[in-house]
Amino acid sequence: MAADTVTLIDRLKTIADHKTSELTANDATLTVDIGPAGTAMRFLTAFLAIQQGDFVLTGTERMKQRPIGILAEALKSMGAKITYLAHEGFPPLQISGPFEQKTANVTIKGDISSQYISALLMIAPSLPLGLTLAIEGELTSRPYVEMTLAMLEQVGIRNDWEENTITIAPQSFNEATLYVEPDWSAASYWYAIAALADEASIFLPGLNGYSLQGDSKITEIMANFGITSQFKNGGVYLKKEPKKVERKIFDLKECPDLAQTIVVVCAALGHDATFTGLETLKIKETNRVLALQTELAKIGVKFIEKNFSYKLDCSGLHFPEKVTISTYEDHRMAMAFAPLALKIATLEIEEKQVVEKSYPYFWDDLKKAGFEVVE
């Protein structure tokens, strides 16, 4: 199980235990430290706002640099009691709940992390007035919002989505057995390996062609690199076929978590592609744009930012005998650059443990696939 998931489950258990303890009766404040788990920070900000008690929600030093103000202000506009304990708009947060709801109407920008929106949608059925969420501008990562609503429907929560407004009335959750799909984001690294290999035939179990996940678009994107996806026998078969890469522009606004994977593949193939839809990359586990620029420079590739688009300049591409990749405490940096081992004699990845955030057995799986992985 991914570290973010483990963290969220563990903290929810801690919160539940606190609510039934004697400390609660004495108005004790519970500090909830979510470490580097951004998903937990966003979801718990909304969740704690409707819980009985006083809480401090905090995390790592990097987490304290990642904005939470858009979500916190949206909650405050409905009446939530949230205070920034250090810098305005950033964790740690002081949250006192449950709040007395003043309004159901909330407006939020569409070009922000979809998890802000998902956090609001998940507490909406429990709000006395429900939620009418107006999304301003183009919605980034729309598939993630659609996935949230689809999962809510599976537990009996109805919604109405008209144009740019999502409405959820107060209602009760039903019991349900939910199937948790394998992670298409994790699958993307195997597509990258296939794209950089001379030949490849890979089977990924559990994945299907009708996924709710936005990152399932990797099948369509990687077709540009000659990777075919055949769904059968309870999974997907990847096969590499010779093909010249012709696509010049990749719009990743619906699947920004694939950005590092696709950018690195294009860079390693010497393909001067342009990327759009990367607005949220600078507020992830690290500033992923800067991280890509820094690490790609080690193989002579420039990643140039101009007017919300990003262009690769591979004119200086070369593969040194040895390259050390910094990960900046970002799991996707480690896994996106790992396929470069197919091009570089000795590839070192710093902070190997960062993959535990989303794919704990990544290095083990590489070994099973024939890679020599030395710790």
| Whole-angstrom Cα Rg for the chain | 22
Distance CA 74, CA 78 (A): 7
Annotated active-site residue in 33, 54, 183, 257: 257
* DSSP category for residue 15: H
Closest CA to 270 of 304, 312, 240, 225: 312
Tell me the DSSP string of 242-291.
-------EEE-TT-GGGHHHHHHHHHHTT---EEE--TTGGGSSS-HHHH
Dihedral of the CA atoms 108, 109, 112, 113 (nearest 10)?
Answer: 30
**Could you identify the residue written with the tokens 């500033």?**
287
**Residues 355 and 332 sit within 8 Å (Cβ to Cβ):** no
Q: Are 357 and 3 in contact (CB under 8 A)?
A: yes
10 has catalytic annotation: no
Active site residues: 257
